[in-house]
Amino acid sequence: NAGVTQTPKFQVLKTGQSMTLQCAQDMNHNSMYWYRQDPGMGLRLIYYSASEGTTDKGEVPNGYNVSRLNKREFSLRLESAAPSQTSVYFCASSEAGGSHQPQHFGDGTRLSIL
């Protein structure tokens, strides 16, 4: 059981380049999330999708877009990468968006913007 799979695991971009981070889950979860993690700042929510067909902004959405392609897949796009977006990105999913549901995380994508 793979759980939450993120690709790529590592990526180096130049400022201004674009790219899409991919995330897929095989747990039949309804809700999916994208976080970034920077040293000393914990996990910050970028966007989330409560269910297939819906997306909403989190705490730090600027510079990002998302697509909930289907129930399994939730992608994060950087249209014009900036050095401030250098971070570790985690995708997560939960069974439903209800308050009591814990989240399951992928292994992360380590992204460097030069």
Partner 1 sequence: QKEVEQNSGPLSVPEGAIASLNCTYSDRGSQSFFWYRQYSGKSPELIMSIYSNGDKEDGRFTAQLNKASQYVSLLIRDSQPSDSATYLCAVNLNTGGFKTIFGAGTRLFVKA
Residues that bind partner 1 (CB under 8 A): 31, 33, 35, 40-45, 48, 50, 56, 58, 90, 94, 97, 99-108
Q: Nearest approach, Cβ of 32 to partner 1 (angstroms)?
A: 10
Provide the minimum distance between the beta carbon of 8 and partner 1 in the complex, in angstroms, as a whole number: 15
32 with 93: CB under 8 angstroms?
yes
Three-state secondary structure call for residue 45: strand
Closer to partner 1 by CB, 7 or 17: give it: 7
Alpha carbon distance 22, 41 (integer Å): 23
Q: Are 86 and 44 in contact (CB under 8 A)?
A: no
CB of 23 to partner 1, least distance (A): 12
